[in-house]
Amino acid sequence: MGDKTDVWQGTLALMVLKTIESMGPLHGYGIARRIEQTSGDLLSLNYGTLYPALLRLEQEGAIASEWGQSENNRRAKFYSLTRAGRHLLHKEARSWEQTTAILARFLAPSEDAS
C-alpha cells in the first residue's frame, strides 16, 4: 500500500465517468475498486473524496442514481451515466488528451541535447 499514490486533482470526475461508461451502473464501492484495478493498483482512492465527487456529478446532472441490491444483497446506490454525463466525459477526455500531449513535449528529450 505504501507504493500507491493519491488520485490526481481534476482527474477523479473523468475516471468516474469513464468507469461508469465502460462498466454500466455501479455502486460507489464498485466504482472505487474498478478505478484502483484499472490503475494496476497504483492509485489509492479515498472514499472521503469519492462520495463528494459522486454527489457533485449527480447535482451537475452528469450521473443519476438509483437504489438497488449489491452483489452481497445489501442496499446500495447505483450510479449511471446521463446524456449530459456522456457529453462531459468526451469534453474532459479531449481536454486531458491535450494536456498530456503538451506535457509530453516538455518531457521528450530535447533535440539540442547531445
Instruction: Return the percent helix, strand and coil in the chain, to nearest 5.
Output: 55, 20, 30
pLDDT, one tens digit per residue, over 22-63 is: 999 999 999 999 999 999 999 888 788 899 999 999 999 999
pTM equals: 0.84
pLDDT at residue 1 tops 50: no
67-99 burial, b at 16+ Cβ within 10 Å, e below that, comes to eeeeeeeeebebbebbeebeebbeebeeeeeee
Q: Which three cell numbers stand for residue 113?
A: 541535447
Domains identified in the chain and CATH numbers: 5-107 (1.10.10.10)
